[in-house]
Amino acid sequence: MGFVTVAAFLALAATGWVVWPLVRHQGGASDEATQARAALAVLREEFAALEAARAAGELDEAAHAQARRELEARALAEAQALEARVRGREISPVAAALVALGVPLLAALGYLWVGSPRWASDEAVLAATREAEVAQAASAAGISPEQIRAMVSRLEARLESGEGDAQAWMMLARSYRVLGDPAFVAAGWARLGAKIPQEPAVLVEWAELLVVARGGFDAESTALLERALALAPDEPKALAMGGAAAAAAGEHAKAVERWERLLAQAPAEGEFAQTLRAAIEAERQKAGLPPSGN
Asked whether the predicted pLDDT for residue 209 surpasses 60, the reply is yes
Host domain of residue 198 = 118-287
Instruction: Average the pLDDT over 156-175 and give the result.
Output: 82
| Same domain, yes or no: 177 and 279 | yes
- The CATH number for 164's domain is 1.25.40.10
pLDDT range class, residue 24, cuts 50, 70, 90: very low
**Tally of CB atoms within 10 A around 4:** 20
- 141, 44 contact by CB (below 8 A): yes
> What is the band of 106 on the pLDDT scale with cuts at 50, 70, 90?
very low
Average pLDDT, the chain: 68
In a domain, 294, yes or no: no
Q: Where does a domain end: 68, 90, 114? A: 114
Is the residue at 152 inside a domain? Answer: yes
193, 240: one domain: yes
Together in a domain, 158 and 283: yes
Most confident of the ranges 17-31, 217-231, 260-274: 217-231
What per-residue string of b and e applies to 132-161 under the rule 16 or more CB within 10 Å gives b?
ebbebbbebbebebeebeebbeebbeebee
Contact residues for 81 (Cβ-Cβ < 8 A; gap 6+): none
